[in-house]
Amino acid sequence: MSSKVFKLIEKEKKRQLIGLEMIPSENYVSSDVLKALGSILTNKYSEGFPKARYYGGNEVIDKLEIYAQNLANKLFGTKYAFVQPYSGSPANFAATMAVCDPGDVVMGLALSSGGHLTHGANLSFSSIFYKAVNYTVGKDWKINFEELEDLAKKHKPKLIWAGTTAYPFKLDYSKFRKIADEVGAWLVADISHISGLIVGGVHPSPVKYVDLITTTTHKTLRGPRGAMILVTDRGYKKDPEIKGKIEKAIIPGLQGGPHNHQTAAIAVALEEALKPSFKRYAKQVVKNAAVLAAELGSKSENHLILLSLESYGYGMGYQGQVALEAAGITINKNTIPGEPVSPFYPSGIRLGTPALTSRGMKEKEMVKIAGWIKEVLEEIRGLDLPKEQELRKEFIKSVKVKMKKNPKLKKIRQEIAKFASKYPVPGIDS
């Protein structure tokens, strides 16, 4: 037994128990998901797909993967499901490979407007191997569909992404569909953040509007780290050979043997998502986010809040993240639409309610937590980011030292530890 590794695991367990996990892409899995993820299924090599493997001894694995596929199709109402992608970015790469040739035009929401790296950001495969065109949000922080339509007509994309990673509003898939039809593009919904909300009935489903769907399984869906690609009836009618194209993109295109323990854990999570209790969970996530956003002077229609810290000073996102972490609240710095500084030193923070809701917290707890957040953020006033880039690294180091020593934050951290310890963390014996 590695005493070093397991001591570190225990430290992380304590951190999760006494802190408030508010990164909107993080959540807690059940004990059953953890059991499947840590099972002997990790021992088996299964390159290929059910009943078409390169290795022997996959009779049980075939049944397991087919079961996971069937659960996904039942849950989302889709025709085909692929549960082998290792994570969200590889799933998006595989979906792109299946319908595009290198050099084709792909369109997605700009990273600075709340889009994802794989939807056309610089340095991502989506702009290295394809010609990426980005649409943006307007002054109201909502997707500018007029701009999207104009860009689509001008550039004639082969693929349009309808997906976000820091976008607090519901998506209107019918508008995406209209534009995709005008230019003959594949329409792919990346629902990684909101898949749990969709199956929970608190966010519109893209299934009848889009051709393909990609999603991670570890956010609001409360599964292990992994991903899925789903084909809708519309997508199948567009190209009856799409199933084989996606299979080839996954293997040999991008990866080898699937992680069978991960597939099993995904299946467990999908079983759990089919239960009535999951719908109650999803509804509470959205209720909690709405209350938290209102208390912080913002708005949310889903599970996350994108909060500008411009009223606290210049380039305050990093300082906000550092201060909140020192107080026992984990969030992430994030760009805001029209970001005036930079992606690494942004002007906002991103936070959400999926993990807190998994611990049983409701509206009254959100009000209390919002109070702590506002208290913490007051401690960063006056700590404006230097406008000289060469000074920023040392400045952030000094901020980390200041926040760690800050007596107000130490007091709040103790209060939060006492508060959080009352709410059990799924999968952890407190």
Q: List the catalytic residue out of 53, 158, 177, 219.
A: 219
Task: Confirm or deny that 343 is annotated as ligand binding.
Answer: yes
Q: Which of 47, 147, 233, 301 is catalytic?
A: 47
Catalytic residue, candidates 96, 118, 164, 216: 216
Can you read off the two tokens belonging to residue 288? Answer: 């909690």
Question: According to the annotation, is 344 in a ligand binding site?
Answer: yes
CA distances from 104 to 130, 156, 213, 231 (A): 5, 9, 19, 21
Clarify whether 225 is annotated catalytic. Answer: yes
Residues 6+ apart with CB under 8 A from 15: none
Active site residue 219: yes
Active site annotation includes 167: no
Q: Is 304 annotated as a binding residue?
A: no
| Active-site entry in 170, 225, 234, 408 | 225
Please tell me whether 50 is known to bind a ligand: no
25 marked among binding-site residues: no
Q: Is 159 within any annotated ligand binding site?
A: no
Does 201 show up as a binding residue in the annotation?
no
Is residue 47 among the annotated active site residues?
Answer: yes
Contact predicate 363/288, CB 8 Å:
yes
Q: Which of 13, 14, 26, 45 is flagged as catalytic?
A: 45
Binding residues for (6S)-5,6,7,8-tetrahydrofolate: 111, 115-117, 342-344
Active site amino acids: 45, 47, 190, 216, 219, 225
Binding residues: 111, 115-117, 342-344
